[in-house]
Chains A and B, each alone.
Chain A
Amino acid sequence: MPTAAVTVAGRSVTWRDGAWWRARAERIGTLWRRSLRFRTVVITLVLTALTIIIACVWMALAIQNDLFESRKTQALTDARRAVDSAQSTLDNAVVQDDPVQVQNLLTSIQGPLSQQSATDMTLAIRVDATPSQLAPPGFRSGGLTESMISAELRKHVRDSGSVDKQWAQSIALPGPDDSVRPGIVVGQQIVVPDIGPYELYLAYDLDDASSTLSFVQATLWIVGSALVVLIGAIAWFTLRAVTTPIREAADTSAQLAAGDLGVRLRVRGEDELATLGRSFNAMADSIQSQINQLAELSLVQQRFVSDVSHELRTPLTTIRLATDMLNDHRDEFDPTTARATELLHAQVQRFEVLLTDLLEISRYDAGSVQLELEPTSLARLAEDVIASMQQLAEQHGSDVRLVAPGGYSPVDMDPRRIRRIVRNLLGNAIEHGEGKPIVVTVDSNQQAVALAVRDYGMGMTEADAERVFDRFWRADPSRKRTIGGTGLGLSISLGDATLHRGTLAVWSRPGYGSNFVLTLPRGSHPVEAGSPLPTDPGDEATDDLGLTQPIIVSRPMDGGDA
Chain B
Amino acid sequence: MTSRILVVDDDTALAEMIGIVLRTEGFETFFCADGATAVQEWRAHRPDLILLDLMLPGMDGIEICTRIRAESGVPIIMLTARADTADVVRGLESGADDYIVKPFNPKELVARIRTRLRPGAQPESEMLRIGDLQVDVAAHEVRRGQSSIALTPLEFELLVALASKPQQVFSREMLLEQVWGYHYKADTRLVNVHVQRLRAKVELDPDNPKIVTTVRGVGYRAGAIV
Chain A residues with a Cβ under 8 A of chain B: 310, 313-322, 324-325, 352, 363, 368-370, 415-416
Contact = CB atoms under 8 A, between A and B. Distances in A.
B103 A313 contact: yes
A347 B7 CA distance: 28
B88 to A, nearest CB: 13
Given A310-B82, A352-B103, A318 B14 contact: yes
Given A325-B21, A325-B106, A352-B103, A317 B14 contact: yes
Interface string B77-92: 0000110100000000
B165 to A, nearest CB: 21
Nearest to A356: B103
B18 interface: yes
B175 to A, nearest CB: 16
A495 to B, nearest CB: 14
A382 to B, nearest CB: 16
A319 B105 CA distance: 10
Contacts of B107: 324
Interface in B88-123: 102-107, 109
B184 to A, nearest CB: 11
A29 to B, nearest CB: 54
B81 A321 contact: no
A320 B185 contact: no
From B11, B103, B185, residue with most partner A Cβ within 10 Å: B103
Contacts of A368: 84
Nearest to A320: B103
21 contacts: A310-B82, A313-B81, A313-B102, A313-B103, A314-B14, A314-B81, A314-B102, A315-B14, A316-B103, A317-B14, A317-B17, A317-B103, A318-B14, A318-B17, A319-B103, A320-B104, A322-B17, A324-B106, A352-B103, A370-B84, A416-B185
B24 interface: yes
Given A318-B14, A363-B84, A416-B185, A325 B24 contact: yes
Contacts of B20: 321, 325
Nearest to A311: B81
B13 interface: yes
Given A310-B81, A322-B17, A416-B185, A317 B104 contact: yes
Contacts of B11: 314-315, 318
Contacts of A352: 103
B63 to A, nearest CB: 20
B86 to A, nearest CB: 11
B102 A317 contact: yes
Contacts of A313: 81, 102-103
Contacts of B103: 313, 316-317, 319-320, 352
A363 B83 CA distance: 12
A169 to B, nearest CB: 105
Nearest to B53: A314
Given A314-B11, A320-B103, A321-B105, 20 more contacts: A310-B82, A313-B102, A314-B14, A314-B102, A315-B13, A317-B17, A317-B103, A318-B17, A320-B105, A321-B17, A321-B20, A321-B21, A321-B104, A321-B109, A322-B17, A324-B105, A324-B107, A352-B103, A368-B84, A369-B84
Nearest to B185: A416
Interface string B13-37: 1100110110010000000000000
B84 to A, nearest CB: 7
Contacts of A363: 84
A99 B92 CA distance: 145
Contacts of A314: 11, 14, 81, 102
Contacts of B104: 317, 320-321
A321 B25 CA distance: 13
Interface of B: 11, 13-14, 17-18, 20-21, 24, 81-82, 84, 102-107, 109, 185
A321 B109 CA distance: 10
A316 B105 contact: no
- Of all A-B residue pairs in the complex, the 5 with the closest CB atoms, nearest first, are A317-B103, A313-B81, A313-B102, A317-B102, A320-B103
Contacts of A324: 105-107
Nearest to B109: A321
A313 B102 CA distance: 6
A368 B85 CA distance: 9
A370 B187 CA distance: 14
A315 B13 CA distance: 8
A304 to B, nearest CB: 15
Contacts of A322: 17
A461 B64 CA distance: 58
A320 B102 CA distance: 10
B79 to A, nearest CB: 8
Contacts of A318: 11, 13-14, 17
From A317, A324, A325, A368, residue with most partner B Cβ within 10 Å: A317
A246 B102 CA distance: 58
Given A313-B102, A314-B102, A352-B103, A321 B185 contact: no
A314 B9 CA distance: 10
A313 B82 CA distance: 9
Nearest to B107: A324
A503 to B, nearest CB: 24
A310 B83 CA distance: 11
B102 A316 contact: yes
Contacts of A321: 14, 17-18, 20-21, 104-106, 109
Nearest to A369: B84
Contacts of A310: 81-82
Contacts of A316: 102-103
A356 to B, nearest CB: 9
A442 B172 CA distance: 28
Contacts of B17: 317-318, 321-322
Contacts of B21: 321, 325
Contacts of B13: 315, 318
Contacts of B106: 321, 324-325
Contacts of B109: 321
A322 B84 CA distance: 26
Nearest to A316: B103
A20 B21 CA distance: 86
A380 to B, nearest CB: 14
Nearest to A349: B105
Contacts of B14: 314-315, 317-318, 321
A440 to B, nearest CB: 21
A2 to B, nearest CB: 54
Contacts of A325: 20-21, 24, 106
A370 B11 CA distance: 30
A315 B9 CA distance: 12
B190 to A, nearest CB: 13
